[in-house]
Chains A and B, each alone.
Chain A
Amino acid sequence: MNDGLDDSGLPNPDPMEEMRPVPAPVKGRLKLRVVFVVFSLMLCALVYRLFDLQILSADEHRAAGRRQYEQKVRLAPDRGRMLDRNGNSIALTISRMSIAVDPNMVEYPDSIARQLSAITGKPDSVYTQKIQRSTGSFVWLERALDEVHLSPLADMKDEGLIRTWEKRRTYAHQHRAAQVVGFTDIDNRGVSGLELEADTLLKGAPGYTILQRDGRGKLRPTSDAPLIQPRNGRDIQLTLDMSMQGIVESELLAGIGASGALSGTVVALQPNTGEILAIASYPGFDPNNFTEATNEQMRNRAINDMYEPGSTFKTIMAAMLLEEGLLTPSDTVETYGGKYEYGDVTIEDDHPIDSATFRDALVQSSNVVFATQSQQFSDMKFYKYVRDFGFGIYSGVDLPGEVRGIVKKPRQYDKTTKMYMAHGYQLAVTALQLTSAYAAIANGGLVMKPYIIKAVSDDGDMREVSPQQIRRVVSKSTCDSVTSMLVQVVKDGTGTMAAVQGMHIAGKTGTAQQLVDGKYARGYYTSSFAGFFPAENPQIAMVVMLDRPKRGFYGGAVSAPIFGKIARRLAASGSVTIDRKTQREESQNSNGDSATMPLIIGMTVAEARENLGPIGLRLPLGLPEGYIVSQKIAPGTRLAKGTHVTSSVVSLSQEQRDSVLISDGHTTSFDRHPDVRGMSSRYAMRIVHELGYASRVVGSGFVRRAEWPRGTTGTVTLYLR
């Protein structure tokens, strides 16, 4: 402080006289100076602190600020497409619009609600209530809408209407090949199926850019921001043929509906390459709607499940016996009268045969013959053949979750192991392994690695994946012999229901009792049919496998017809080329006066006539056009030729047929009452009337529940909703 005055003292000794001014003394100035110095130092400290914050360490704080103004924005790559072998899209990424509103700003909530309702079919009130009830400034109304670009919403002007584009994976074929294709999660990451297995190919690499947040929190691009473009995922082309897949799935569905099986699977391979042409698994799901799918529906039963194959395995045995020169097809074999006892083990044939050639034994599927013949092999040799056909080892298919099945090692064998394995027990295989083994026989003994990714895009070019030979397991001549035996199985053995006019089919039935609580149980079967066609020039090897069919259990009765129908439709569609000569051969092989009633549920009337005609059975005349929904004579029943087979027919579209056959197919006894739940009252009544019942309808809408009378006539009450 500047020099002051050398004045003052304490002028007023009388403290009680308050009103008189007290002149300030000199003493006490030092204290003011102390205060001045202390506060000045504090101000200096503040200035230094500012200097530090604003000059010395400013960059550090600025960087912290930039971090909060700048936001790294991920630029999502387009996920690669999945195409079928003909270039049809299976899975693709589509930008879809999501609609949200700011309830405080929205100007025309009623109009928005009306437009959304027009797209989704939900009532307006759903949206108006969402808007009204929201307390925040943002509420989603609908996400990832499909056809919004056609709606007035797309260019509606409303301050509070928020439209965002989101990339969503879309599956063009819905249910078709769903377990193979799999699906992605909301962030477009592969979760199951090929979406998972080929995720690294499909996903690509994201790019990014930096957006600047201004003082008001809005993000906007800056001119000098780095922009790293995303690298889109690769397209992959599958070996699948989606039209073939469609045929396979539709016939599997129909076959499951008709037989009441719990589940089923079909695999079709191209024998000379190992390409998987179709792979179906029921029950299925729609990957566009994967949140509603159950684990049961998502399982790819062709590779994730294993079964005891039963008699279809005899084909492998036959190939082994022929390859080793232990038998020829025409050798006579001992049949033991259809019953062979070995220690305390008894092997029996369902349909005992007397004296027979080896060929007959396969055609008639004799357990006894194969069990006894298997004893000619050493354990090691037997095991090696089974392994070389691809059983008990991973096929290496490019799909997730493959199981390798169970094949005992020689040291685990007891005296009866080979006897059981020879007719398809005490080992577990996947449908794919079985198909691959049949494909090897169709391919002249060369085992090919099954695969499903046919080509991968690389800068616009499609790079083909080459087929891969695994090993030669048997010779070409062995395969030719086996094929001719398998053709006979279909011609006049257990597999006649797989027969297709004008085409030779090589195949083998299989009916395996399932282990239930450790015992082979009656009533629980795996019914399968494995084969390939055309026999002269095999283009497709295929296995049909049904789990626990209820109406007819023989593979020949429930799986063979599915196989046959698929083969016929493939031939008709041109997917399989047939030798003209064979086509002309008429193979009428229903000997004698009797015929076996086939399963005709699910067929059209025309198909049923076509199936019944050759074996000498007839449908009554004057049936309406449509699908057969019930048959009075159980499949497998022996009938005199010329019998008229009464059946109920209902006109339905194929989709409706499938839904009648499938909806809850494994719990209703369809041969008595079809499941009409979920159908419109009109169709339900038509079915009910066709079956000879009267109907009573309660309510309106779709059928929720149906009450059937006890007898075969009476009134069915349909409760609608």
Chain B
Amino acid sequence: MGIVGGKNTATAQVDWVLLLSTAALMMFGVAFVYSASAYFAEVRLGDSESLAINHVVRVVAGLVVVFVFSRINYRLWQRTSIVGITIALCLLIYVVINGQTLNQATRWIAIGPIGFQPSEFAKFALIAYLATLLANRQQMLKSFREGVVPLLSWTAVVCVLIAVQPDFSTAAVIFGIAMMLLYIGNVRFLHLLAIIVPALVMAAGYAMSAEYRMRRLTEFWSAEGSYQLKQAIIAFGNGGLFGVGPGQSLQRDWFLPESYTDFIFSIIGEEYGFVGAGLILFLFGVILWRGLRIARNAPDLFGRFLAAGITIVITVYAIVNAGVTCGLIPTTGLPMPFVSYGGTSILFTAAALGVLLNISAQTGLFRNKRQQSEPIMNVSP
């Protein structure tokens, strides 16, 4: 698939390293999901391949989405991010109200046959909007009230709406990503501290307000660990250096039910060993490297912030997911990007990747342009 950058240029190329790394992750993902879901699918759905086929369909759709979004000039998102965040807020509010009337935790919206989690969309909408604000208001960031408060308000509204679904861990992760984006976006360190410290206090209070959240935390800190974690660690142990081989997992079907979603990393570790799991982490490392390189070389501040935000989302999700399965982070329900069997999450992540690729394709364009134009003055803070 040859993806060519923005229509402004015929020479600029997308970041092939990034594209191939993610494509590799998606391909591995298909194999992992098949192996992890076969038994479950056979027992529950009567067809061992049904879940894997679903996943293949989504991966193919994801690749199409990558292609499409890489063809759209990312500056479009700067203009439309206000619309995106508005839609995201509406969806989140709808989910909260709907959830309350049903009197149960609801994180999903169904549009026809497709169900998706608004938080999947909201996190990218928030990043795009924060990137817009940061890029447009660099001068105002010195003032906490005028510069930081609007950024903080949007972030807070999105996170609170997600937290009350209730999906506390996603809210916390998105909040953390937003904070990193603000840091990259030149918000003063002192201001960030002034946000993060009270947020941590509130988060602690919130965590203690619901029993299941507390239980997860205490389970994590206790020597025993949760049942799933224990089983995941056994899976890693079984895997050893080279793994027990594709499809040979002892843990997946009986001891780690539905491992093809959030605990897929442990099955990778079991079937493909330290080598396989390490390769996955390496690929995410490549994504991190290439993504931040794109951010650094982005033609403008919006591109930089957006590229950094997208890279951070993907990397943080991967680190949190792997950290949970390894027992380094308390149990949260975050999927591993590109790999987990995760419904629509893969499509949103693919779209973000497409955007990232589009930014990368414009790097060269900007460089060429800049070389032709007059020097740009440096700004000291």
Bound-state CA distance A2–B363 (Å) is: 15
Enumerate chain A residues within 8 angstroms of B238, measured Cβ to Cβ. 58, 61-62, 65
Contact count band on B: 35 or more
- Closest residue of chain B to A62 (Cβ to Cβ) is B237
Cα-based distance from A27 to B139 in the complex (angstroms): 14
A47: Cβ under 8 A from any B Cβ = yes
Chain A residues, CB < 8 A from B184: 28, 31-32, 35
Closest partner residue, chain A, to B318 (CB atom) = A43
Q: Which residue of chain A has the shortest Cβ distance to B232 in the bound complex?
A: A53
* A residues 1-45 touching B (CB-CB < 8 Å): 1-2, 4-5, 7-11, 13, 15-16, 18-19, 21-29, 31-33, 35-36, 39-40, 42-43, 45
Kindly state whether residue B269 has any CB partner on chain A within 8 Å: yes
Q: Does B367 make an interface contact (CB < 8 A)? A: yes
Bound-state Cα–Cα, A11 to B236, Å: 51
Interface 1/0s, chain B 188-222, versus A by CB < 8 A? 00000000000000000000000000000000000
Q: What 1/0 mask marks residues of chain B from 66 to 100 whose CB sits below 8 Å from any chain A CB? A: 00000000010011000000000000000000000
Please name the residue on chain B nearest to A23 by beta carbon.
Answer: B300
A46 B319 Cβ-Cβ under 8 A: yes
A1-B296, A18-B136, A217-B254 as given contacts; A53 in contact with B285, CB under 8 Å: no
Nearest B residue to A2, CB-CB: B293
* Partner of B299 from A16, A23, A28, A40 at Cβ < 8 Å: A23
Interface residues as binary, A38-80 with B (CB distance below 8 Å gives 1, 0 otherwise): 0110110111011101110111111011001100000000000
A45 to B285, CA, bound (A): 12
Say whether A216 faces chain B, with CB atoms less than 8 Å apart: yes
Contact of A29 among B296, B323, B378 (CB under 8 A): B296
A189 within 8 A of B: no
A58–B236 CA distance with the chains assembled, in angstroms = 7
Q: Is A214 an interface residue (CB 8 A)?
A: yes
Q: Are B379 and A9 in contact (CB under 8 A)?
A: yes
B297 within 8 A of A: yes
Residues from chain A with a CB closer than 8 A to the CB of B172 are none
Considering the complex, which residues of chain B in the window 284-314 have a beta carbon less than 8 Å from any beta carbon of chain A? 284-285, 288-289, 292-293, 295-304, 308, 312
Q: Is B139 a contact of A21 with CB atoms below 8 Å?
A: no
Q: Is B274 an interface residue (CB 8 A)?
A: yes
Residues of A within 8 A of B308 (CB): 32, 35
Complex contact B254–A216 (CB within 8 A):
yes
Q: How far is the CA of A583 from the CA of B322 in the complex (A)?
A: 100
- CB within 8 Å of B: which A86-126 residues: none
CB distance from A216 to the nearest CB of B (A): 6
CB distance from A57 to the nearest CB of B (A): 7
Contact B230 A64 (CB under 8 A): yes
Q: Is B183 an interface residue (CB 8 A)?
A: yes
For residue A213, CB closer than 8 A to chain B, the reply is: yes
A54 touches B239 (CB 8 A): yes
Q: Does B358 interact with chain A (Cβ within 8 Å)?
A: no
Q: Which residues of A contact B315 (CB under 8 A)?
A: 39
CB of A343 within 8 Å of the partner chain: no
In the complex, the answer to whether A61 meets B379 with C-beta atoms within 8 Å is: no
A contact residues around B333 at 8 Å (CB): none
Asked if residues B301 and A55 are in contact (CB atoms below 8 Å), the reply is no
A1, A22, A68: residue with the most chain B Cβ atoms closer than 10 Å: A22
Select B180's contact among A9, A35, A47, A51, beta carbons within 8 Å.
A35
A574 within 8 A of B: no
Q: Tally A-B pairs: CB < 8 A.
A: 191
List, in ascending order, chain A residues with CB within 8 A of B9's CB: none
B255 contacts the other chain (CB 8 A): yes
A460 at the interface (CB under 8 A from B): no
Known: A7-B376, A10-B379, A61-B238. A216 touches B253 (CB 8 A): yes
A215 close to B (CB within 8 Å):
yes
Partner of B254, one of A45, A62, A215: A215
A23-B300, A47-B281, A217-B254 known; A18 and B132 CB under 8 Å?
yes
Chain A CB within 8 A of B241 CB: yes
A8 closest partner in B (C-beta): B376
Q: Which of A19, A40, A58 contacts B237 (CB 8 A)?
A: A58
Q: Note all chain B residues with C-beta closer than 8 A to A217.
A: 254
Given the contacts A61-B233, A216-B254, A22 and B301 also touching, CB distance less than 8 Å: yes
The CA of A31 and the CA of B292, in the complex, are separated in Å by 10
Residue of B nearest to A217 (CB): B254
Cβ B236 vs Cβ A36 within 8 A = no
What are the residues of chain B within 8 A of A61 when measuring CB–CB? 233-234, 236-238
User: A211 → chain B, closest Cβ, in Å?
Assistant: 14
Interface bits B223-242 vs A (CB < 8 Å: 1, else 0): 00000001001111111110
**Residue pair B370, A7 in contact (C-beta under 8 Å):** yes
Across the two chains, which residue of chain B brings its CB closest to A69? B250
**Given A15-B137, A21-B302, do A35 and B237 touch, yes or no (CB 8 Å)?**
no
Contacts of B293 in A (CB 8 A): 1-2
Ordered by A's residue number, 11 sampled pairs between the chains whose C-beta atoms are within 8 Å are A4-B297, A13-B139, A22-B301, A27-B186, A28-B184, A35-B292, A36-B292, A42-B319, A58-B239, A69-B250, A213-B254
Q: A5-B297, A32-B295, A54-B240 are in contact. List 18 more A-B contacts (CB 8 A).
A: A4-B296, A7-B370, A8-B376, A18-B79, A22-B301, A24-B296, A27-B186, A27-B379, A27-B381, A32-B184, A36-B289, A36-B292, A39-B316, A43-B284, A50-B326, A51-B274, A65-B251, A215-B39
Interface residues of B (CB under 8 A from A): 39, 75, 78-79, 132, 135-140, 180, 183-184, 186, 230, 233-241, 249-255, 269, 273-274, 277-278, 281, 284-285, 288-289, 292-293, 295-304, 308, 312, 315-316, 319, 322-323, 326-328, 366-367, 370, 376-379, 381
Complex A-B, nearest 8 residue pairs according to Cβ-Cβ distance, in ascending order: A61-B237, A10-B379, A53-B236, A9-B378, A65-B234, A54-B274, A21-B300, A215-B253
